[in-house]
Structure 1
Amino acid sequence: MRKRLAVLVAAAMCLVLVAFLVPLAILLRSVTADRAVTAATAKAQSLTSLVATSDAAALRPAVDQLNTTAGHPVTVFLPDGTVLGAPTPRTPGVTLAAAQGGSLTVDDAAGREILVAVQGLPRGTAVVRAFVDRAELTRGLGSAWLVLAGLGLVLLALGVVVADRLARSIVRPVHELAAVSRRLAEGDLDARAVPGGPGEVRSVAAALNLLAARIRDLVRQEREAVADISHRLRTPLTVLRLDAESLRDAGEAERITGHAESLERQVTALIDQARARDSAPGSCDAASVVGERAEFWSVLAQDQDRAVTVEVAPGPLPVAAGPAELAACLDALLGNVFAHTPEGTGYAIRLTGTSEGARLEVSDEGPGFDFDDVSRGASGAGSTGLGLDIARQTARASGGTFTVTREPGARIVLELGKPLGMP
């Protein structure tokens, strides 16, 4: 924008300068020529009285004396054919001036003739000729044009500099607004724009500040709402754990209590995550987390006669995802398998290390997805549609990718990135 404004002003000033300087240059040329012609005319007219009253012998010294001065050689053509002064042939202009008895100005390739006729002589009309060469007609014109061109360039440079300063005063607040917008996009909800520049830019800055304040309030309300909802789950979880402890079967009580405690840890992690403002991405050993969650779900798989394949590469496999986030991601994917495939349907969990981190694959032998949209909130089976999005967000937050294959069965692949600072 700044460059465009400078170019626009430069173009406008070029048009103005051309419209001003070209006529001025033409006027200077005309003035320079008129000045030389006027001087030559005055020089020729100074001899008319002598030509009218003196003979050739008396006239010759006066003409020679006049020609000793620089420029404009003067020649006198008398009616009897005598030529006094600067030697030059009798030109058609001289003949025409003598015939008409008047004064003429004749241009030719060499310069300009100033012809003054002197009537009343006994033998006819004499002609006084002063000649202005082409160099004299343009003497000093080149330097004057250079001065005009230099003046034009100086004015153009000043105009561009002033335009650049004005454009900078407009563009700088716009760049500051863009910087504030980027900070807001990066999660700095306290970023605010300092109003400056033209009134329109100040209005945009004020609107951006209002928008940032509103976003901060909405995010705070959302975090508090999530934290409150998660906190409410603790009461029924506590009741569930107490009921499990009261069971007569010690093994069953221990198993259910373990599940309740695991769920309570997830709820606690969810509360902490909701209340956290700008925490850095966590990290964990993917092999340890995946192995623990695979073992957890294997108990339910045995109850439903599901064939389970677990292939976990030996750890550690550090990835840029916290243990709670990775566990929630795998729980969401396996929960989908148990919720949307018939009992007896097998599934597989494969974790391998890669140069970029780790690759987690969850597949099943079910019918696959019966819908095309796998975006957040979309579901073809009556669920909330958030399970796949949890996995997608986990992969992207780690710097990896998320891939879904619908047929045959369902196959979901997560490429998890390495923690920051690791080679």
Structure 2
Amino acid sequence: MALAVTSLVVIAFTIPLMLVVRRQAIERAQVNAEREAQNVSGLLALLISGSETLDPASIDASLGQLPPGVAVYFPSGESIGDTGSNSTASLSTRRGVPASGFDIDGDWEVGIPVSTRSGIVAVISTATVAEQSSGVAVASLVLAALGLLIVAIAVLVTMRLLRELIQPVDELARVAERLGEGDLKTRATLDGPPELAAVATALNGLAARLSGLIEAERESLADLSHRLRTPLTSLRLQAERVPSDDDRIALTQAVDRMESAVDGLIHDVRQGRKASTTGDLAGVVRRRLPFWQVLAQEQKRQIVHSIASGPSIVNASEEDLATLLDLLLGNVFSHTDSGVAMAVDVRSQNGHAVLTVGDAGPGFSPGLDLT
């Protein structure tokens, strides 16, 4: 990661620098070409001032050796120097219009016209592609080497820092993993930077706190199991004394389910099951309604239901949701007459799943204290 970030930073600086070097080389070549053209055109103006005719041979002898890339075109069609240019800038200059620009090969040309009595003498100076890129390759290599050196230094420094940080972090990770596996006696060493030492201290405190909570929970469960066993046993004895066979069987089965639920609750908590779980409310209602539909048909009841499409996730286990729905529907069956219709609705309201169970019964008696 550090290597990638450092490389991106170096590239972000190196590429613009290379482009600047390239631009400076082009501008330097163009300025040189303009200077050569101005020097030759100024000297040429001095030589032909006052002359009635132009003699290219005598002018060539007077100018001497022209700089590379400079050419002089006379009105008669003759020329001296590096001739042969037919670019737009060259043709415009021969017509008496100063011009500059790139030709088809990428060479940059600048033209300066010199007016004489015999016509226009055009001075053309050319900066070739090679001149425009002179020194760019070397400068680019130097910048690339400098970038690689910076990356190498950054990697070495990063590796040194990582070695100082990784060891205490790995130790904290191993301690956290052992805590997650249930080894609450393990503790982290207070080594490394102050920030990591603070994390280790907090982790050790958390482990101690968890140990105390689990021990207290075990004691509470042991007490709970004893408290629930006695009333359940008494309830079973009373259920077995009911004269009606059907009622006795129903009550006994209800007691069995209650004992099973209590046993499951105690077992789940002892196994370290998370208290905060989620469930699909709409899915639970869809699965439980067919069971209640059978009983509703026997009592000639109509169950109208409206269930939201898709999942309706709430912060409760699906076992708890099923128990809740059974309690609500069981309450309707217990406290309303046969034939009374009921409705079950699951909808989303303000980002929350809402379950509504209603019936067409008369409701609570007037004056009933519900507090």
| TM score, norm. by length of structure 1 | 0.43
Say which one has the larger Rg: 1
| TM score, norm. by length of structure 2 | 0.49
